[in-house]
Structures are given as structure tokens and as C-alpha cells.
Amino acid sequence: MYIREKKNNSGSVSIQIVSKVRGKYKLVKTVGCATKQHKINQLKMQAKQQLEEFLTCTQKFSA
């Protein structure tokens, strides 16, 4: 799993958490979208925290 930035037709940027399954990308969650760079950076930080929480949760269940 990783975090990606995807540009939208409107000019805004979506921050998404995605995983690659069997050679295809699967959208796990859209954290948000923004046009200003400082807001994009905030969304990336939120996405990083959510990704870490998700990964620690899945590790607890797999152990």
C-alpha cells in the first residue's frame, strides 16, 4: 500500500491510499482533495497517519 497524488480535471489534486492486487491498483481510501500546496501537504500527512494505523491493525490480526 502507498499514498498517491492524482490530478483531477478541475485542477485539484486528490490524495489517495491505494494497493496493488494482482497487477491492478485498488483504491482503499480517498483522504481528500485540495488545490493549494499547503493543504495538499496536510492531506498527505493525514494519509500517512491513516496508512500507518491501517497497517498496524492488519498486523495485529495476522499475528
User: Model confidence over 6-45: pLDDT tens digits?
Assistant: 999 999 999 999 999 899 999 999 999 999 999 999 999 9
Residue-number span of the structural domain to which 34 is assigned: 2-62
Mapping DSSP onto H, E and C, the string for 1-63 reads CEEEEEECCCCCEEEEEEEEECCEEEEEEEEEEECCHHHHHHHHHHHHHHHHHHHHHHHHHHC
The rounded distance, in Å, linking the Cα atoms of 63 and 58 is 9
Alpha carbons within 13 angstroms on the beta-carbon side of residue 13 total 14
Work out how many domains the chain is built from and give that number.
1
Q: What is the pLDDT of residue 35?
A: 96
pTM: 0.83
